[in-house]
Amino acid sequence: MQQEEPQSPPTGAPDQAAQIRTVLMRLQRRQWWMWSSAVLVTLLLTLAIASFAFPGLLSQAESFTSFALDQSVRGLVGLVLLFNVYTIYQQTQIHRIQRQMSDQVDAMGKMEVRTEEVYKLAALDALTGLYNRRCGEQRLASEVLRAQRTGRPLTVLVLDLDGLKTVNDKFGHPAGDELIRSFAQRLNKAIRGSDLAVRFGGDEFLVLLPDCKQDEVRCVLGRLSGHTMECQGMSVGLAFSAGWGTLEAGESPAALLKRADDALYVNKRASKQATGTNAVVS
């Protein structure tokens, strides 16, 4: 299975900010619709009252009745106008609050973007996009505690690229960086989603394999072997050396890592004696 791309802390705030914006837009549209409907109904009501009152005002009825009807119509129209003014005032206040909320949401979104950028700088390797050494060591400590608590296996795999110096000398350091990136991408595809790939430094990589027995590591190495990359019209092999160790009872993270690292250097010495092969020593 292919490992999932490194993710930032699951805050969910950017999605929440987008949902808040959507709700605010819907609320604003509904408020304008209600306000427009209220104004339209008020105008129609005023016109209806005026149409009924107008014949009475023009008739030759008694002066008191005409005066009372005239005052009633004017009072009703005044109340309607006051209601409209109050409605406009309330709508203005609501729009002001909406603008303030929108500004706060925008500020929150910008803060989340900055937080994600800082997280990437602190947790991810800039060249490969894998986790960096600091995060790898922290995750190793937590995985060791988990394995000791549950009794499930934990395997640590250490990888080192062979011939990187030759590529740098022959094609330049940009080609060497591309070799590291290509190997990192291949490594990311070779492991499971529950595994963790780390660029430990330079051309050295660390892979944490929870719930993985020692004999199952060869499946991962098999998916990594035999690949090449094109460099200035030439094919360059992604050769590597590997060493690994499975956590033993009471073993510390540092001791487990050292045991896997020692196996790596045994393998590198063996690979120098057998050029073109990638023997694996556990």
The residues assigned a catalytic role are 203
3-class SS at 224?
Answer: helix
3-class SS at 88?
Answer: helix
Q: CB–CB of 187/197 below 8 Å?
A: yes
Cα gap 133→143, rounded to integer Å: 15
Tell me which amino acid residue 106 is: D
Strand stretches in the chain, DSSP E: 154-161, 196-201, 204-210, 228-231, 234-237, 240-246
Token code pair at residue 29: 């549209």
Token code pair at residue 262: 């020692």
Cα gap 25→37, rounded to integer Å: 18
Helix pair angle (164-171, 173-190), 10° resolution: 140
Q: CB–CB of 223/189 below 8 Å?
A: yes
254: enclosing H helix or E strand: helix 253-273
Read off the DSSP letter of residue 268: H
- Tell me the β-bridge partners of 246: 155
If one counts every other C-beta atom within 10 angstroms of the C-beta of residue 193, the result is 9
Cα gap 215→282, rounded to integer Å: 10
